[in-house]
Amino acid sequence: MASTINPARVDFVTLRLFCAVAQSGSITKGAEACHLALSAASRRLSDFENATGSKLLDRSPQGIALTPAGHVAMQHAMRLFQGFEQFSTELKDYSSGVRGHVRLWANMSALTEFLPAALASFLEAHPDIRVEVEEQLSGDIVRALVDGLADVGVFAENTPTYGLDVAPFQTDELVVLCARQHPLARTRRADFKTCLAHEFVGLNRSSSLLELTSRAAEQAGIPMRLRVQVRSFDAMCHMIAANLGIGVVPLAACKAQVIALDLRVVRLKDAWAVRRLMMATKTGELLSPAADLLVRHLRV
């Protein structure tokens, strides 16, 4: 049976040095960043590799590169730093009078449509709780919950959720937006297959919305022609207003842009256009009192 790493042989100084060397590609630069002598830094890195039982760094005249095992070590080191920073932040909150800290990760739709009002009412009722909110892609939210980087997550349905307790959160309607001069501008309702005759503006790769529309296009047997990809609904709306393509968006999240940019709304006949957002926590994880209060509030 493989031996485990002895925590006593790995400290935060060594982990920080390892990350600095990996990011700079140089032991010398990493040592300088950590205020260590070069000989001491080299010794720490050798001891770290011995402790893990794996070669973590490839050394060459061109510099330092991570091995496959090194990439894994880097990911875990970064998680440890994030956890320690979270630890420090939460203790500081308690010392300054804040009685709870919740890490909430949510996708763009939830943050734009539903969470602002819900969080405002929650924080008004519980001013001694701090909620740290982070916008992420649905798949990344699930991984963060499993890894313990987030306490509560809100994401689109059809995202794999093994290891999570999941409950419905809200429902949003997806519509097609187009510029007033676009051929679809006079159409009030259409099926997605009809819309596939036109070029699209979409979100960045790996977004749940892009995955959903791409899957619908595949089922229709017509490729979706993405002309432009951006990172936000606001950017999508501006590209659509410039007539660079049409786009599928949650209607509630884009109401203000529809009015401001004089966009046309085409409602979709497809059943998948009514989409559920889900709320989740890690299975078997005992929630803090603050996180439990937030989950109960969001379920109302």
- What lies within 8 Å, CB to CB, of 14 at 6+ separation is 44, 45, 47, 48
Give yes or no: residues 124 and 243 share one domain.
no
In a domain, 91, yes or no: no
- Say if residues 139 and 245 touch (Cβ distance below 8 Å): no
Give the whole-angstrom CA distance, residue 292 versus residue 185.
46
pLDDT of residue 1: 39
What's the mean pLDDT in 146-159?
89
Give yes or no: residues 252 and 182 share one domain.
yes
Give the whole-angstrom CA distance, residue 140 versus residue 149.
10
Q: How confident is the model at residue 247 (pLDDT cuts 50, 70, 90)?
A: very high
What's the mean pLDDT in 154-168?
89
Give yes or no: residues 150 and 281 share one domain.
yes
Give yes or no: residues 207 and 253 share one domain.
yes
Give the whole-angstrom CA distance, residue 108 versus residue 21.
34
In a domain, 129, yes or no: yes
Give yes or no: residues 149 and 284 share one domain.
yes
Helix ranges (H only) for the chain are 12-24, 27-33, 38-52, 68-95, 108-113, 115-125, 138-147, 192-195, 208-220, 233-241, 255-260, 289-299
In a domain, 153, yes or no: yes
Give yes or no: residues 158 and 33 share one domain.
no
Give yes or no: residues 21 and 165 share one domain.
no
pLDDT, tens digit (0-9, with 9 covering 90-100), for 100-144: 889 999 998 899 889 999 999 999 999 989 999 998 888 889 989
In a domain, 56, yes or no: yes
Look at residues 238, 289, 296 and name the one whose alpha carbon lies nearest to residue 99: 289
DSSP summary character for residue 252: G
Give yes or no: residues 262 and 295 share one domain.
no
Q: Which CATH number do you get for residue 203? A: 3.40.190.10
Percentage of the chain exceeding pLDDT 70: 90
Give yes or no: residues 267 and 179 share one domain.
yes
pLDDT at 7 over 60: no
Give yes or no: residues 73 and 216 share one domain.
no
Give the whole-angstrom CA distance, residue 276 versus residue 169.
7
DSSP summary character for residue 288: -
In a domain, 89, yes or no: no
Q: Is the dihedral of CA 178, 180, 183, 187 positive or negative?
A: positive
Give yes or no: residues 108 and 39 share one domain.
no
Give yes or no: residues 146 and 199 share one domain.
no
Tell me which residue range forms the domain holding 44: 7-80
pLDDT at 281 over 60: yes
Please indicate, yes or no, whether the overall pTM of this predicted structure exceeds 0.75.
Answer: no
In a domain, 31, yes or no: yes
In a domain, 223, yes or no: yes
Give how far Cα 127 sits from Cα of 84, 85, 120, 121, 287, Å: 24, 22, 10, 10, 19
In a domain, 2, yes or no: no
User: What is the number of domains present in the chain?
Assistant: 3
Tokens of 82: 């994030």
pLDDT, tens digit (0-9, with 9 covering 90-100), for 180-231: 999 999 999 999 999 999 999 998 877 788 889 999 999 999 999 999 999 8
pLDDT, tens digit (0-9, with 9 covering 90-100), for 68-109: 888 888 888 877 776 676 666 656 655 554 578 899 999 988
Give the whole-angstrom CA distance, residue 55 versus residue 260.
57
Q: Which CATH number do you get for residue 61? A: 1.10.10.10
Give the whole-angstrom CA distance, residue 230 versus residue 296.
34
